[in-house]
Each structure stands twice: as structure tokens, then as C-alpha cells.
Structure 1
């Protein structure tokens, strides 16, 4: 169809030139400049395949060298006809933006349900089963991370599939998992979910202490139903826009929300698919992303709804992730995909290397890490917390032990089946270290963020957002009578070496010591300098 167009000039306007793969880029480039990159089969052979091989786990030194050379060549060609302008050109015209990746501990109910569904036998079957079954489980795990009560709807679907010859074992697993829910569980009960508990705390603080409004975005209308039920219970005023909202009503809701104060319209519930693109919601200065999409461009578009021309307040964006669960795996995948786009289009480092799944990756997706404050930070092996510095080192590649640096990822992998007596434990350990090195390379871009362990004492002092800082968990203190308190103070003074008291550095709390819904870790991006500069401009409007 496009080949039939007889036009002297062709222009494509795109916010996402590369969403998933290089084939999309070739299609747009070939439309604007027919034949410049040859047909797709040649393009795939010359550019796409070598580039993807160089970024895959286990690529050899030769593949890496060839892929990087082809990537640089393709990037140079792209710069000859691509004019790129992103939101950074508006930075000096817009108020500061502060982004937070908020890792929240799961509730005991969520962990119990994860353990019930993801037994070792079932996990092995899932990796071997069809892709459709794996995708269905990914969808289910994501919903459990949002709230376990969403399993009730999933059970109905599983029953229908089982009746049609589908997976009966999966239906039974869901039925067993649902028995772990409280008997009178309600859709407006946010305490079943760690993320929704943290969201509820954030909304209460905003409603009580500020006059700001908030956007809440989800990829699932079923999750929006839960948040909507909670808003009704708390008497929060709101608008909702999803796929069922009539087209004439959509702009009406947006206009009313932007013009209203907090009392009239506090929250805007938004489906990312229906309203994640094009809407201007500058009436809000806070945005909460409840769940993440495998395609990072969808989330980036949703998060851009409030940091736009006309915004007058500093903007705060929160991405909620349930720590140690599939939420983190999806986010890690996003970081990897953004590395492909940034390396080709010349915006940002190209350190995030891998774009493809290995069998080990698939197993990792279905693995829960219940005792971690942040599995993503664990993978980085970042020394920022051990040194007491809240900021991560930008050069994450230099953190590997010498043994890992000396290991070549290009060594031949073993055959699929190996006689037990021939298994070399040292080689297995080497391959595991190489795999961890690859995972670290995928997440290298996270070195640009500030890393904050929220289970450490005094973590709130390093968080720029006071509302978020006040949400951190504080251990309950034991209440004593006046006499008992006085006696305890005297005994403590006798026992404590006051000279060394300030040097004491108590260990952080463990995940097992805090309740579900606790903010356990933060990735923060934003600078205090921007806030200071903004306040100076307000105080002195004639300043340049």
C-alpha cells in the first residue's frame, strides 16, 4: 500500500520509533527513504541479527564486536534522516519532575498464594508447557501482585478452560489458593495487597496534608475496580476513564478534572490503554502507576500525562512494584528494552545489553524472592548501601569480582543432557556467575538513579518527597509507666558508652520484621537543586 504512494517527501512523526524490535524501525525508515536500508531480509541479516546476537546472554567476543560495529553503523545512518526531540528540551520550561520506583513488601496472604501456585513441580511443567500457558500464568501472577482478590475472576476463566479440556491442574491450584483468602474478603479491602496498602497510605497523606490531586494508572480495569471501591469507601471524589467511557465524555472528564480543586475531584482513575496517550492531565501533580507493562513505551506515555506544558507544580511520579515478585521481572525487562532504543537512537548509554529471554530467564520470571527488600538492587550488587552513599555508582560494570571479569561469556554451553558423573561443579558455578554478570549488564542504566534502602534507620532523610518519606515504617515502641521509663533511662545511661553512641550503626530491618505494604526500597531520580532553583525564581521573579 505504501509503495503505491507517489509523494516527493515523506515524514513520520513517532513518539516510539522502537517499541519492541528493529523491524519496526526498518518499516518506518523504508517508508521515508525507500531502499536506504535495503529490503527487510537483507536488513535483518546485516543489522538486526548481529545486533541482537551481541546483546544476548552468552554472546561471544566476536559476536559482541560485530554487533557493536553494526549498531554504530546503523545509528550513524539513522542520524542522517532522523530528527529527534524529546521531553528534555522542555526541561527548563517545566517544573521539576521526581520519579520514584517504590518497592513494597507483599502481604502474608500474597506470599502464601504465590507459594501455593508456584510449587517446584508446577514450575517445571510451566517452563516446558506451551507459551500460551506461560503467558496466562504471567497474567495471573501480575494480578496477584496487584491484589489476590483478583483471583476470583481468574478462577472462572480457568474453570471454563478446564471444561474445554484445558489445564485442570491449574484450576485446582487456583481453587486451593483462593482458600487462603479471608472468608469475608471484600473488593475495597486494600490490606490484602502490599501495593494497594502503600497506595492507600499515600492517598490519605495527600488528602490530609496537601491540596494536590492524583492520577492512578493501571493496565487492568479489574484493578481499577478495586481502587474505585476504595475511593467510594473513603469518600474520595474521582473521575474514571477506561475503554467503556463514551468518547464524548472523555475530554469532558479531563477538562473538569483540570479545573476542579481537590475537594471536587481528588483522583483520576485511568486505564493505560484507553487514556495513556494524548491526554493532558496537568490538574494533577502526582501520578501512581500500579502495574507495569512489558513494553516500556506504554508506561512512559502514561507517566507523561502530568508533566506537560501548563503544569505549575513540581511533579511526583510513583511506580509501585511488589518486591521479589514478577513486578520486578517486568520492570527489569523494561530497562533492557529501553537500552535497545537508546543505543540506536543515540540518547543515553548502551550498557543494557540483553534483549532476549533464555530458559534461565523464563525460570526466573516464575521465581518469587520473599526475603528481599529489592531483588533488582540485589542483582546489581551495588555497593551504595554498604558505603553509606545513597547514590549508585554510574559505572556498574566495575563491581564484578576478578573471577567474573576473567570469565569469557563466549565459552561453549554444555549439551542439553549430561551424564551426572561428567558434571563439573566449577563450570556450573562459572556459568552462574556469567549469567549474573549478564543480568547486571542489562540493568546498568539503573546506576543513574539514587538507591535508598528504606529499612535502614534515617532513610527518610535522603528522600526528597516528604509525603513518601513519612510513609516509611517505624518499629513500634514499647510503652512504659513513668517510673519504669525513668529507671530504664538510668540503666541505659549506665550501660551505654556515650562517646561511641553516635558512631553506632544499627543494622537495617529485615523484610520479615515489617508488615506487608511496607516501602522497603526506592529508586529515586530528581534533584534538590531543581527545587531550590524553582523556589529562588518564585522569590525573585526578575531573576534569569
Structure 2
């Protein structure tokens, strides 16, 4: 920052601070200004932090969920008493995210972090549908206590408030059998990762096979090229390449949950894996069936759905956490003659709107491929009314935000969401985990009558899959789909390879309730405890 530009900013801030009004500032600018300040003797610090404004409003408040981030440290210094956090995602992975947002708006209300973890987190996050009744009962009491404790400083408005302004939204969860060739690759991969501790790499490897074996072949081919390139660099400039070490990954698994894995890191993660892990792959990729899209039932469904939609010119958004998956789909749709556009993390910002405009105006462009992270914010695609979420990730935030790209103001058609899951694999377990997180979030905020993953729990994610799974009864499904003939037609073509199909709405997860209903004495116990904690907090504030 030049002295001239600094002076202009100071004059601008001083005028606002002296005369009042609303100052709009993004997080990057706030961080930039305050990281360079010398605190008490700095005008930026005085105008923005201490004493700062009369009211501070943090939009996208979940961005301060990480207490170790520079942003969290900066906003924690605000001396402003009136604080507001706005967020559509109060809990993505674990309760500590919620704790940090509450700690900003009402410092001390939840007590010290370690106390909060021991009293609330330990019980609430470990209550599952198959937990012991005593654990579920304790978790339900603690969850109700937490909701009561925070209700004075939280205000919730869910998607129900939009129902009158938006068309109907239907979500389907579709679970597919693996094909024989997928099963072979998945089992081989499971055997090879028993020696490998990287949670992220394991997910990438198994998820890729669930999408399509050809995608894994392409990734491994790229991996070899990158390894040779890195070898050349290392032997010419003595630079070091750092990969996530075992200890870091174990800490991630022990502490909370691995965050969403952007597609851009796929090849980087695979580069660091042991070469011997893929000894089985050479013979595996000689199978000619890998060249066909129907060696993945997911891909078969997507092609059938796209074909049905092309007849009536309906547009589809396809979201994946994998750039390699989009590479495969882009090539596939090109071969099939289906007009396709794409936006991912590598798409320059200045080109994105032009691509969106092209998609909206050209009726022959029927498919938009969006990477999960790129689709999370700042994109409006209401010209499409169907969205396919191909794969699963530990953090459900990006999928939920992706749905918001088409289910928003301006949408005129009924919206259909397809969540695709591969049966008896890591995807099915991650999907159940996402539902569990949503269940906690909903009950925590609404008082409806990441989640920590231990090393032992992680083992359940890597169990042997099964091919012996019954198919759905398409006649029962037909009743649920009337009058959606597009979905029904796509399902009918692949009905023998679908193990489960159900209506599923992440905004309404009561059917997955991992908690018991509280009796009157238990509710009184929670009310009494919440009242005690609240009085103690208010007494400390006055003192």
C-alpha cells in the first residue's frame, strides 16, 4: 500500500467514524488493513477495532468457525458490544464451529472451549441411531440444554420462509450398485490403502472408483507425469515438495473431520502415495469395459437423464468434487453431442459470467459442469431446474450451497435434486455422516422434538463392499414420481442396478433422528441447567 492510498483510506474511514453511516468491507480488505497495523497507535485499529463502530455485522459468519485462522483472531479483537453473525450454515462439521460463532456474538456464554467440549460436544456428536439408549438420552438432554442456553442470542429462519416465493423442490437420494469392474477396483484399492494413513488420499481414491474407473486411470496417468516433472525439478534446484505427513492426517482424523477436498488437489494428493499401492492397476486397466460409460451405474443414470432432458430442452447442473470427473463427463457429453459448459476453480473470474450468460441464452447448451467449490457462492443458474450431486465429501456445505445456485429467487420451474451414492462403499457412510451433522444442526437451532471421527470409526469407512444387494421395486417408485416422467424414464432404464431410491430433503431430517424424546423430568433438568449457566454468564458480564 502506497502512502497516498493509505492516506485516502484513513480519510475515508475517519469521515465514516466521525459522521456515522454504514461501512461495507469484505473480509480480505479487513484482514489486509489490520494485519499491517501497529494496534493501539494505528488509526485503522482505532476506527475499526478499538473502540470501533457501534455495531458489527459479519455476513457469511461461518467463515470465523476456525479459531486458528487469522480472520478469527482479528474479529476477536473487536471492542464493539453489538455483534451480529449472519450464516446459512451454523454447523458444517462439528460443534466447535458453532461455539466459535457464539463466542464472537456473546463472549463467554458457552464457557471455556475445553469445558464446552467435555460437557456438550462429547455427548452430542457421538449419538447415532444405533447408540445405546443411555448415550442417546444423555445427548438429547445436553442438546436441549445447549439450545435453551443460546436461544436468547440466536434467531433462525429456514427454507420454509421461501416456500411461497419459490417453486416446489424435490430431492432424491439414489443409491447404485457397483458394477463388477468397479467392485474389483474398489476391493484392490481397499487392500492397498491398509498401509496408507492419509484420509484425504483414501477418499479421493475410493470416490474416484465409485464415479468411474476410467477417471482413476486418467488421474494415475497424470500422476506419473507430475512425479517425473517433480523429480526433474528436485534434481535441478534442490527444492523440496511437502506432502501431508502421517501425523498431520492422524491429527485431522482424531480432532474433527477432514474438510472438503477441492478437485484441484486430487493429483497433488495422489502424487505423494506409495508407488506400490497401484501394482494391481496395470492389469486392471487392461479390461476393455473400462472404456464404456456403463461400467459405472452413476454415469449410466446421468447419460440417461441428460438424454431425457435434451428432448424437452431442460437444463441440468452437474456438481462434482473432482475435476477429473468433470474432465471425463465433458469428453463424454462431447462424444454424445450434448452441449456442455463448465466452470471450476481454474475458470478465470472475468469469464464466468460470460459462460453463465451463454448457458442461459443458448437452448442447445443443456449441461453445466460445476466444481463443488466454484458452485458454492456467487453463481446464479436459474435457467436450469435439475441438479445432480455426483459424489460425497466429508463437508456437506458445498453440496448445500450448490443447490442454492438453482433454488433461489428467479427460479420459475420446479427444482429436482439428485444425490448419487454408491452402495456399500465409503460414499454411503459419508452420506449418513452428513445427514447426522444436519440432524444435530437442525435440532440445535430449531429445538426440534464434522463431526468427530475417531481412528476406530474410520475403520468402518473401509469395510469390504457387497454386490449382493436387492434392486428397488420400480412400481413403488413410480407412485412417488408422478408426474415426473423425466426421472422415472431415467430410473426405468437402470432399475436393476439401483438398491435404494427415496425422497430426501436435507432441510428435513427427522427420519434419521439419533436422539430419544425427552420426558417431562428430563426437560425440566435441561431447563434448570440452562438457566443456571445463563445466570452465571450474565453475572460474569455484569462483573
Conserved? CA contact 2:190–2:462, under 8 Å: no
Residues 1:33 and 2:138 aligned together: no
Residues 1:291 and 2:394 aligned together: no
Conserved? CA contact 2:188–2:280, under 8 Å: yes
Q: 443, 446, 460: which one pairs with 2:478?
A: 460
Hey, what does 2:338 align to over in structure 1?
A: 236
Hey, what does 1:470 align to over in structure 2?
A: 489
**1:340-392 CA distance string (max 9 Å, x none):** 2122112656xxx996457366235332121214xxxxxxxxxxxxxxxxxxx
Residues 1:363 and 2:474 aligned together: no
Residues 1:141 and 2:238 aligned together: no
Secondary structure, counterpart of 1:268 in structure 2: strand
Q: 279, 284, 299: which one pairs with 1:177?
A: 284
Conserved? CA contact 1:94–1:311, under 8 Å: yes
Task: Write the distance in 1 (CA, Å) between the matches of 2:481 and 2:313.
Answer: 21
Conserved? CA contact 1:454–1:460, under 8 Å: no
Conserved? CA contact 1:104–1:321, under 8 Å: yes
Task: Write the distance in 1 (CA, Å) between the matches of 2:447 and 2:386.
Answer: 26
Q: 139, 147, 155: which one pairs with 1:67?
A: 139
Task: Write the distance in 2 (CA, Å) between the matches of 1:228 and 1:90.
Answer: 34
Conserved? CA contact 1:473–1:519, under 8 Å: no
Going from structure 1 to structure 2, the CA distance change for 1:54 and 1:320 (only over 3 Å counts) comes to: closer
Task: Write the distance in 2 (CA, Å) between the matches of 1:255 and 1:140.
Answer: 35
Task: Write the distance in 1 (CA, Å) between the matches of 2:444 and 2:413.
Answer: 34
Conserved? CA contact 2:421–2:428, under 8 Å: yes
Hey, what does 1:523 align to over in structure 2?
A: 502
Hey, what does 2:125 align to over in structure 1?
A: 52
Question: TM-score scaled to structure 2, two decimals?
Answer: 0.65
Task: Write the distance in 2 (CA, Å) between the matches of 1:254 and 1:166.
Answer: 37
Task: Write the distance in 1 (CA, Å) between the matches of 2:86 and 2:305.
Answer: 37
Conserved? CA contact 1:116–1:176, under 8 Å: no
Going from structure 1 to structure 2, the CA distance change for 1:236 and 1:153 (only over 3 Å counts) comes to: closer
Hey, what does 1:335 align to over in structure 2?
A: 435
Going from structure 1 to structure 2, the CA distance change for 1:325 and 1:181 (only over 3 Å counts) comes to: farther
Conserved? CA contact 2:189–2:206, under 8 Å: no
Residues 1:223 and 2:289 aligned together: no
Q: What is the number of residues matched between the two proteins? A: 389
Task: Write the distance in 1 (CA, Å) between the matches of 2:358 and 2:92.
Answer: 33
Going from structure 1 to structure 2, the CA distance change for 1:43 and 1:470 (only over 3 Å counts) comes to: same
Going from structure 1 to structure 2, the CA distance change for 1:181 and 1:93 (only over 3 Å counts) comes to: same
**1:460-480 CA distance string (max 9 Å, x none):** 3442321121234479xxxxx
**1:385-430 CA distance string (max 9 Å, x none):** xxxxxxxxxxxxxxxxxxxxxxxxxxxxxxxxxxxxxxxxxxxxxx
Residues 1:20 and 2:93 aligned together: yes
Task: Write the distance in 2 (CA, Å) between the matches of 1:22 and 1:299.
Answer: 19
Secondary structure, counterpart of 2:342 in structure 1: strand
Task: Write the distance in 2 (CA, Å) between the matches of 1:139 and 1:109.
Answer: 18
Conserved? CA contact 1:270–1:276, under 8 Å: no
Secondary structure, counterpart of 2:421 in structure 1: strand
Unaligned runs of 5+ in 1: 374-452, 476-508, 527-544
Going from structure 1 to structure 2, the CA distance change for 1:35 and 1:158 (only over 3 Å counts) comes to: same
Task: Write the distance in 1 (CA, Å) between the matches of 2:451 and 2:101.
Answer: 24
Residues 1:198 and 2:270 aligned together: no
Q: How far 1:54 sits from its partner (Å)?
A: 5.0
Map 1:292-311 to 2 at 5 A. Answer: 292-311=392-411
Conserved? CA contact 1:191–1:197, under 8 Å: yes
Residues 1:245 and 2:361 aligned together: no
Task: Write the distance in 2 (CA, Å) between the matches of 1:199 and 1:53.
Answer: 36
Conserved? CA contact 1:102–1:320, under 8 Å: yes
Q: CA RMSD in A?
A: 3.1
Secondary structure, counterpart of 1:11 in structure 2: strand
Task: Write the distance in 1 (CA, Å) between the matches of 2:395 and 2:273.
Answer: 28
Going from structure 1 to structure 2, the CA distance change for 1:466 and 1:180 (only over 3 Å counts) comes to: same
Unaligned runs of 5+ in 2: 1-73, 232-270, 506-543
Secondary structure, counterpart of 1:131 in structure 2: coil
Conserved? CA contact 1:147–1:196, under 8 Å: yes
Going from structure 1 to structure 2, the CA distance change for 1:169 and 1:65 (only over 3 Å counts) comes to: same
Going from structure 1 to structure 2, the CA distance change for 1:306 and 1:347 (only over 3 Å counts) comes to: farther
